[in-house]
Structure 1
Amino acid sequence: MSAREPFAFVLRRSGVRWALGVALVAVLAGHALARYDIRFIDSLDAMIYDAKVRLFMPRTTDARIAILDIDEKSLAELGRWPWDRARMAELVNALFGRERIAVLGFDLVFAEADASSGLAVLDELARGALSDNAAYRDALAQLAPRLDYDRRFADALAGHPVVLGYYFSNQDASSGAIPAPLMSERAFGTHPLMLFDWSSYGGNLPALEKAAGRAGYFNPVIDFDGAVRRVPLVTAYRDGVYGALSLEVLRALYGDAAVTPLFDDPANAGAPLAALAVATPRGTRVIPVDANGAALVPYRGPAGSFPYYSIADVLGRRIPAGALAGKIVLIGTTAPGLMDQRTTPVGEVYPGVEVNANLISGMLDGAIRFQPPFAATLQMLALVIAGLAMIFLWPWHIPARATLLAALLFGAIVAADWYAFAHLAWSIPSATLLLAVLGLYVLNMSYGYFVEARAKRYFAALFGQYVPPELVEEMSRHPEDYSMAGRRAELTVLFCDVLGFTAIAETLEPEALARLMNEYLGTMTEVIRAHRGTLDKYIGDAIMGFWGAPVDDPEHARHAVAAALGMRAALVDLNRTLTSRGWPTLWIGIGINTGPMTVGDMGSAVRKAYTVMGDAVNVAARLEGLTRHFDIDIIVGEATREQVPDIAFREIDRVRVKGRVAPIAVFEPQPTRENSDGLARWRTALAHYRAREWDEAEALLAALAAQYPERQLYALYRKRIDALRGVALPEDWDCVSAFDTK
């Protein structure tokens, strides 16, 4: 045994398994490097991330932030939303006066003017029907400040750390007013940050925006599954960069703190790709963001992780004294009818205002997790190292050890992922690596069970009905080399049909006909199998076989022609048996052709067959049909004849068969009924015919017909000459006979 033989054996036995493993790792690597997106892996990563959030969230209440709730109780006591701005002014005055809150944020938009006081109607009367009533105008002038609810609300907002809410959109025209941008897009320099960009906004009344002086948008990032896991802390609109509601509340808390973008901190290998530096009295607070300027929401727990107070109770002075003192207060809603519910990792129905509360809490604590910039590289390295080890080094031949090692590797990945999430604040997608371990384990264990252990029995059952036993045995020695999957190959195909079968069937009883056909089909099938042929199918009384698959056969054309000659000889012996039983004798027509065709398991979910398809197959079927026209039992295509030059053939004609434009020459192998002199005269007659030398051709054909009167071919050509004598043929006449029937 040479030094290369063991490797060749291992490669033959494991090459397919290795290739499948490498292909799996390559597909997963492409996803990890963001070359394309596999939604299933994204969904799995989202599920794992959500599970980590739920596992490691502190589940404590953050008393620094309070939520004033427009809840069902408030709607019942104060009326349906929106309430008049006088009541909102009363609420703001109470919060900053009596309750002494630190910052107030509105998870709401005040987009429309408040006309509930009736001031607009009174103004119209003053300009119209009562324009000459001085007493009315004086009274209205004194009353107007009290009835201008928007002005009262604006006055309440002015001078306090209040942050209004607004939203960006890519659909409607802009309305209302928004604050000046937080910074110019030029502040980001050439760093490839891809901030979300918008074409319009929905802002507050200009008077309210001017009075408050601050506002933040509350657009979250809705992931592909509808969940909110990120919120963009900065976003782009025109040439400016604007801050989210949570970021603006934090800035207001620190006296309108300045914000500066940071990128790729070289001093800290674990730093985020990008961050926002917020200047506070106690130093700079760094808030990590991703390439979209978004931050992962650090959920503290399920809904209710912050103290909630009904606005009705605040206005009714039913909350404990000092309950809101020094707190960040967010006004939002949990009432189902006001449609501010989100799907989050910690709850399918989660108040939108509490998403912002979680962000503010996380920014205060420095607890915003992020995906480090080396996450993709780390995934790739781990994927390649673990994948190659499992493909080439894993002891798959010892299933128990392979299973234990795979389980340990899987557990190590999970543990490392949890540690990074809980202690390093890193959120690294791990689904790709876990799928690689699980996929390679399933692939290799399945391959070992289904392919290697059962291959021989499988091939015997699969191909036994198509190919002779000796070929099945040959295939089972190297089962990895064979498959029923469709492939393109040059093969030779044979069609054989009984001539005049309908008339024969009419003369026999059904039982006798069945016995005759079984004997005929059995005899012909044995000849095909004896010449290494693959039985394709029976089509009534017809037989279809091919050579060159599933076992490669360089001599497929020779074996097919030999099989046809063997079928001719076997038919002679079979007819003796049939005659002795009083049954009619059989005559067959055989068509053979060679060419590229598709071979494989084809069909439907109901039934499949290992068969061949293609133009070369159709030509073979047409050649079988031509045997009736030329009265020749075997007709071979030009491509077949070229592959067996040592077998004697006689050219019959050049034909154009149905469904094919290009003509082909057709041949009869080893014509036994003429001597060499007869064959030479035929070739000469055919040459005269194609040269339009009718007299010379007819003279030779007449002599041949007299010598071999049973050959209808000579009479056929004499009829053609009679028909062509008086016809003015074109100069480019190609001597091709066209056949429009099958």
Structure 2
Amino acid sequence: MATEKLRQANTGIRSFWWWLQCIVSLLLTALLVMDRAEWIDVPGLQRLEWQAYDWRVRSTLDGQSDSSLAIIDIDERSLFEIGQWPWPRTTVAALIESLFTTYDADLLGVDIVFAEPEASHWQRHWENLVEEYPSLASLPPPTDGDQVLANTLSNYPVVLGYYFQSSVQAGDPPVIGQLPEQAHLTTDSLLSLPEPQRYTANLAILQNGALSAGFFDNPLVDADGVFRRVPMLQRWQGELYPGLPLAMLLALLGQPQIDPVIGEGSGVDQLEALDVGGFQIPVDADGSALVPWYGPRGHFEYISAADILEGRIEPGSLKGKILILGASAPGLMDLRSTPVGAVYPGPEINLGLLAGMLHQSFKAQPPWIQGFDLVNLCALGLIIVVIFPRLNAPLLMAVSGTLLLAAVGGNVWAWHQGWVLPVAGLVVLLLAQTLWHLSMNLLRETQQKRWVAEWFGQYVPPQLVKSMVESGESFGLEGEERELTVLFSDVRDFTAFSELLSPSELTRVMNRLLTPLTGAIHQHKGTIDKYMGDAVMAFWGAPLRDMKHADHAIEASFEMLAALERINREFVAEGKPTLAMGVGLNSGPMSVGNMGSGFRMAYTVMGDNVNLGSRLEGLTKVYGVSLIVSEATAKQAPDWCYRRLDQVRVKGRRAPLWILEPLGRWSTLSQERCTWHAAFETALDHYQAANFESAAQAFKELGEEDLTTQIYLARSEYFLKTPPPQNWDGVWMHTDK
């Protein structure tokens, strides 16, 4: 009754912990699935995804540069030599003209907007000067810089820049300047594009003179302020306008139509890319592309604008090159935060986008990315819920590490194929689940260890208790039948020995005797059943299963006998008599469990095979040996050399059995010992065959030191005088316990 209640209580507690582990694991999975489905927002998860993306970018920069692309840089040196920005339009015109006439550039994109007329500024100042100095009235007015720049633009392939504004604040001016001609698309029905509320564009006179124009603002900067993706198109009042890199590509290709590439999957049409004259630009549903990153700041060639204006560059050195005119000087505010640098010039971002278009080297987020991530999260969560509660801590860490490597490795592989797949959700799910299950394992194992130690610690060694906990087996105290090996040991004539000692000294001697004997049993994975005065009962194979229980029991028996020899040497030195001990071992099915009454319970073994072990220990005195094992034990430990002592019937059993004495492992037995063993076995064969004359002669030759040999010599001589009956089977009957 008590055992069953204890078993039910332990099972109930284990079940509670298991269900708690699984339910919380499911909740963690559901939380991340709902975040990916955009039903909730898990704080920090998106930022981790961005950081994972930035890490992949920085880890895979190829460092290769395209010599046909360069930046004409309005840098600090240019401002120092030419003057503060804005420069006179005539200076800008001279710069542009030099790029094409002196240096043979192929195409120029301008990452600057000319929104205010320079002519009105000069006109106003000229009128003021004429009023103050009337003699100036006879001179022609200053050159109209806007017109000069417009004339220059009309002579060369130049793509201007401008910007949209996604929202309007109170006090913002109305739209400024003139937009370029809109982009021509075969269809825009599936395009969900940014729709700005105002723009600042170039003067009409300049825009009309230029080849085209493209915006350089980015309304899709991520919430952490980092440029990762840029819209290729924006919609203004129903018309579509390209970004500066796309406008430059269109100019290079002769202004072809843009063909949206629509992917058909799961019954839903989704925008996948923009086809521009055969060049495909992978985009998401918002028409934005991930910026291709080739290297840190300065990866592309930078040429100072001052060097162009001052003619310090070799003529023709820019032949066939595609250029972007922009500013890297900090004071001009065209610096951005990017995955490859916290301070990154805007012109280089645009040039990188153009390089990606020309080399078709974009990374892309496939349209099925959300469904893919949801399936992965659900599958991983299901695997974790099914497997993790069943694993111990080391195996859990190994499985978790394998899954983590598979998730990250698969993601990196996809990256190299050009796919940008989410990874933060999987990593967070794995780490959170691993931490949770490790914590629960620790709590569960601590509880199990406490329970096992409480109920088994008094029987088995601490290292075996640890093995029981780590094995993951469920240990019950209820009775069950198992294949075990039982040991009985008894110190001979201990009663007479104890009469020589005082009670206190007897206690010390008992401790000195039982401590090493118990240590030998524990050292070889045995379980102490009980102490009976100077006798010890132990068994192997429970509570922790042991496939080598017989082998370990024999090893422990030899260690016990060796320990007694060491104690006897101490006794001799102390003037005490020496002690002898007999050990009996038997193997077979036995009932093991917590047995007793409602008042007192004990974890013990019972059964006929247990009683036989006790009988074998008693026979050690008869045959003058220290250790006897049954033939069942010998069969389960074949590495040992055994001497057949006798075929006997013991009290309480009808069936005869062979009893044997282990002499040592075959691998360690000396040649002399092996020869003696073979001679004894031959003599015993003569005896069993009723060839008593040959047996007597053989046993005489073995010597007089061995009691068993003398027993057989006496029996052989007796049967020579008084032959046994015709049906004699060689079995000796023992009637004493």
TM-score, scaled relative to structure 2: 0.56
Aligned to 2:21: 17
User: In structure 1, what residue type is equivalent to 2:176?
Assistant: S
| Structure 1 range deviating more: 374-383 or 239-248 | 374-383
SS, match of residue 331 in structure 1:
strand
Aligned to 1:260: 259
SS, match of residue 353 in structure 1:
helix
Write the deviation string for residues 254-282 of structure 1: whole angstroms up to 9, x where unpaired: 22232222211679x9x984211101xxx
Write the deviation string for residues 139-197 of structure 1: whole angstroms up to 9, x where unpaired: 52xxx5x611110000000032211111111223211111122147x9222x2x42111
**Is the contact between residue 393 and residue 441 of structure 2 (CA under 8 Å) also seen in structure 1?**
no
Aligned to 1:383: 377
- Pick from 405, 408, 417 the counterpart of residue 402 of structure 2: 408
SS, match of residue 187 in structure 2:
helix
Aligned to 2:227: 228
Aligned to 1:448: 441
Aligned to 2:422: 429
Q: Does 1:247 align with 2:246?
A: yes
Following the alignment from structure 1 to structure 2, what is the Cα–Cα distance between the partners of residues 168 and 429? 30
User: In structure 2, what residue type is equivalent to 1:153?
Assistant: L
- Pick from 87, 92, 97 the counterpart of residue 93 of structure 1: 97
Aligned to 2:280: 286
Identity %: 34
Give the 3 Å change call, closer, same or farther, for CA 126–195 of structure 1 in structure 2.
Answer: same
**Is the contact between residue 117 and residue 147 of structure 1 (CA under 8 Å) also seen in structure 2?**
no
**Is the contact between residue 198 and residue 236 of structure 1 (CA under 8 Å) also seen in structure 2?**
yes
Following the alignment from structure 2 to structure 1, what is the Cα–Cα distance between the partners of residues 386 and 401? 17
Gaps of 5+ in 1: 459-742
Aligned residues: 438
Q: Map 1:464-479; keep pairs closer than 5 Å.
A: none
SS, match of residue 298 in structure 2:
coil
User: In structure 1, what residue type is equivalent to 2:161?
Assistant: G
**Is the contact between residue 211 and residue 251 of structure 2 (CA under 8 Å) also seen in structure 1?**
no
Q: Map 1:286-365; keep pairs closer than 5 Å.
A: 286-365=280-359
**Is the contact between residue 102 and residue 315 of structure 2 (CA under 8 Å) also seen in structure 1?**
no
Quote how far apart the aligned CAs of 1:120 are: 4.3
Following the alignment from structure 2 to structure 1, what is the Cα–Cα distance between the partners of residues 131 and 235? 45
Quote how far apart the aligned CAs of 1:44 are: 0.6
**Is the contact between residue 257 and residue 278 of structure 1 (CA under 8 Å) also seen in structure 2?**
yes
Following the alignment from structure 2 to structure 1, what is the Cα–Cα distance between the partners of residues 348 and 450? 63
Quote how far apart the aligned CAs of 1:15 are: 0.7
Following the alignment from structure 1 to structure 2, what is the Cα–Cα distance between the partners of residues 272 and 195? 13
Q: Does 1:150 align with 2:139?
A: no
- Greater radius of gyration (CA): 2
Give the 3 Å change call, closer, same or farther, for CA 199–183 of structure 1 in structure 2.
Answer: farther
**Is the contact between residue 389 and residue 437 of structure 2 (CA under 8 Å) also seen in structure 1?**
no
Aligned to 1:177: 178
Q: Does 1:165 align with 2:166?
A: no
User: In structure 1, what residue type is equivalent to 2:223?
Assistant: F
Quote how far apart the aligned CAs of 1:229 are: 0.4
**Is the contact between residue 261 and residue 275 of structure 2 (CA under 8 Å) also seen in structure 1?**
yes
**Is the contact between residue 165 and residue 245 of structure 1 (CA under 8 Å) also seen in structure 2?**
yes
Following the alignment from structure 1 to structure 2, what is the Cα–Cα distance between the partners of residues 240 and 434? 42
User: In structure 2, what residue type is equivalent to 1:197?
Assistant: E
Quote how far apart the aligned CAs of 1:231 are: 0.7
Write the deviation string for residues 386-418 of structure 1: whole angstroms up to 9, x where unpaired: 211111123644221111111011001111101
Quote how far apart the aligned CAs of 1:367 are: 0.9
**Is the contact between residue 216 and residue 243 of structure 2 (CA under 8 Å) also seen in structure 1?**
yes
SS, match of residue 16 in structure 1:
helix
SS, match of residue 350 in structure 2:
helix
Gaps of 5+ in 2: 452-737
**Is the contact between residue 68 and residue 322 of structure 2 (CA under 8 Å) also seen in structure 1?**
yes
Aligned to 2:41: 37
Following the alignment from structure 2 to structure 1, what is the Cα–Cα distance between the partners of residues 343 and 133? 53
Give the 3 Å change call, closer, same or farther, for CA 8–377 of structure 1 in structure 2.
Answer: farther
Write the deviation string for residues 74-102 of structure 1: whole angstroms up to 9, x where unpaired: 01110000000011111111111111111
**Is the contact between residue 388 and residue 437 of structure 2 (CA under 8 Å) also seen in structure 1?**
no
Give the 3 Å change call, closer, same or farther, for CA 369–85 of structure 1 in structure 2.
Answer: same
Write the deviation string for residues 531-554 of structure 1: whole angstroms up to 9, x where unpaired: xxxxxxxxxxxxxxxxxxxxxxxx
Quote how far apart the aligned CAs of 1:12 are: 2.7
Give the 3 Å change call, closer, same or farther, for CA 234–455 of structure 1 in structure 2.
Answer: farther
SS, match of residue 373 in structure 2:
helix
User: In structure 2, what residue type is equivalent to 1:180?
Assistant: E
Following the alignment from structure 1 to structure 2, what is the Cα–Cα distance between the partners of residues 428 and 129? 71
Aligned to 2:717: none
Q: Does 1:70 align with 2:74?
A: yes
Quote how far apart the aligned CAs of 1:61 are: 2.0
Following the alignment from structure 2 to structure 1, what is the Cα–Cα distance between the partners of residues 264 and 296? 34
Quote how far apart the aligned CAs of 1:451 are: 5.5
- Pick from 194, 197, 201 the counterpart of residue 195 of structure 2: 197
User: In structure 2, what residue type is equivalent to 1:242?
Assistant: Y
**Is the contact between residue 17 and residue 444 of structure 2 (CA under 8 Å) also seen in structure 1?**
no
Q: Does 1:187 align with 2:183?
A: no
Following the alignment from structure 1 to structure 2, what is the Cα–Cα distance between the partners of residues 322 and 37? 56
SS, match of residue 194 in structure 1:
coil
Aligned to 1:658: none
Following the alignment from structure 2 to structure 1, what is the Cα–Cα distance between the partners of residues 12 and 376? 30
SS, match of residue 87 in structure 2:
coil
Aligned to 2:431: 438
Quote how far apart the aligned CAs of 1:11 are: 4.3
**Is the contact between residue 18 and residue 389 of structure 2 (CA under 8 Å) also seen in structure 1?**
no
**Is the contact between residue 184 and residue 257 of structure 2 (CA under 8 Å) also seen in structure 1?**
no
User: In structure 2, what residue type is equivalent to 1:204?
Assistant: N
Quote how far apart the aligned CAs of 1:457 are: 8.7
Following the alignment from structure 2 to structure 1, what is the Cα–Cα distance between the partners of residues 304 and 133? 44
Q: Map 1:573-592; keep pairs closer than 5 Å.
A: none
Q: Does 1:206 align with 2:200?
A: no
User: In structure 2, what residue type is equivalent to 1:211?
Assistant: G
Write the deviation string for residues 273-315 of structure 1: whole angstroms up to 9, x where unpaired: 4211101xxxx11101112111100110100111000000011
Following the alignment from structure 1 to structure 2, what is the Cα–Cα distance between the partners of residues 43 and 455? 40
Q: Map 1:517-556; keep pairs closer than 5 Å.
A: none
**Is the contact between residue 362 and residue 368 of structure 1 (CA under 8 Å) also seen in structure 2?**
yes
Q: Map 1:43-122; keep pairs closer than 5 Å.
A: 43-115=47-119, 118-122=122-126
Aligned to 2:487: none
Give the 3 Å change call, closer, same or farther, for CA 116–316 of structure 1 in structure 2.
Answer: farther
Aligned to 1:276: 274
Q: Does 1:217 align with 2:215?
A: yes
Quote how far apart the aligned CAs of 1:34 are: 2.1
> Could you say what the CA RMSD is over the residues aligned between the two structures, in angstroms?
3.0
User: In structure 2, what residue type is equivalent to 1:453?
Assistant: T
Following the alignment from structure 2 to structure 1, what is the Cα–Cα distance between the partners of residues 127 and 238? 41
Following the alignment from structure 2 to structure 1, what is the Cα–Cα distance between the partners of residues 449 and 387? 26
SS, match of residue 64 in structure 2:
coil
Following the alignment from structure 1 to structure 2, what is the Cα–Cα distance between the partners of residues 35 and 229? 24
Following the alignment from structure 1 to structure 2, what is the Cα–Cα distance between the partners of residues 157 and 399? 71
Following the alignment from structure 1 to structure 2, what is the Cα–Cα distance between the partners of residues 261 and 384? 33
Following the alignment from structure 2 to structure 1, what is the Cα–Cα distance between the partners of residues 194 and 311? 42
**Is the contact between residue 65 and residue 327 of structure 1 (CA under 8 Å) also seen in structure 2?**
yes
TM-score, scaled relative to structure 1: 0.56
Following the alignment from structure 1 to structure 2, what is the Cα–Cα distance between the partners of residues 286 and 300? 19
Following the alignment from structure 2 to structure 1, what is the Cα–Cα distance between the partners of residues 212 and 310? 28
Following the alignment from structure 1 to structure 2, what is the Cα–Cα distance between the partners of residues 233 and 148? 35
